[in-house]
Amino acid sequence: MSHLTFLNAPRALRLPKAAGWTTPFLTPESPALEAMTDFRSSPAITVLEQVQIDEALNRMIHSGVRLLFVVDSSYGLLGAVSSHDIQGERPMLFLQSRDYSRERGSRAEVTVRDVMEPLSAWRTLDLRDLEHATVADLLALFLEQPRRHIMVIEFPEHATPFVRGMLSANFLERALGVPVETSHMAQNFAEIGQALA
């Protein structure tokens, strides 16, 4: 028999504030930095480029994130893959681009490198610009582009730039209590059109 016993929850109870914790209640006038996930306090989660996409999706689920940074065997940053990339049309479009048939190829063969957004396609923000922006500016920015995540880059003097943080449309939706629209649909139709062409 266990020596553990249940207690009734106290009437007054609160959640602890974790390191790097910021209030989830934002307004359009809030500083944009309050909406950024800062990788100095919340480490970025990575995945090797050759990992199969469903394995990567499971890693996202277990880590509680919707995006992984894709790296090579030397930990060089290659790009990023989101849950939308894996669960959307990209795996099918990749297989179609290789002229795979059901017998010759399957989703099980698709890796994160095949569906990721490479560094060359990233649209990023400079941390210095973000310091003068508001959440309303971020909402307008998400409307202009198709991705649900935007990377924030820090440019240290005499050093290699690095990904300081990330802005997430999902975080803004939770913090503001309103949907954050992006041009996802236009991107999906464009990708399908390119594959069919």
Other Cβ atoms closer than 10 A to 109: 15
Contact 164, 153 (CB under 8 A): yes
Put residue 177 in one of left, alpha, beta given phi > 0 → left and psi -120 to 50 → alpha.
left
Which residue in this structure is represented by tokens 């009734």?
Answer: 8
Contact 97, 63 (CB under 8 A): no
Write out pLDDT tens, residues 21-76.
544 678 999 999 999 999 988 889 999 999 999 999 999 999 999 999 999 998 88
Give the H/E segment covering residue 7.
Answer: none
Rounded (5°) CA angle 150-163-142: 10
Residues 126 and 130: their CA atoms lie apart, in Å, by 7
Query: By C-alpha distance, which of 191, 56, 30 is closest to 121?
Result: 191
Torsion 131-137-138-141 (CA) sign: negative
Write out pLDDT tens, residues 80-125.
999 999 999 999 999 888 765 555 568 899 999 999 999 888 889 9
Domains and CATH numbers, the chain: 32-196 (3.10.580.10)
Pick 99 or 153 by higher pLDDT. Answer: 153
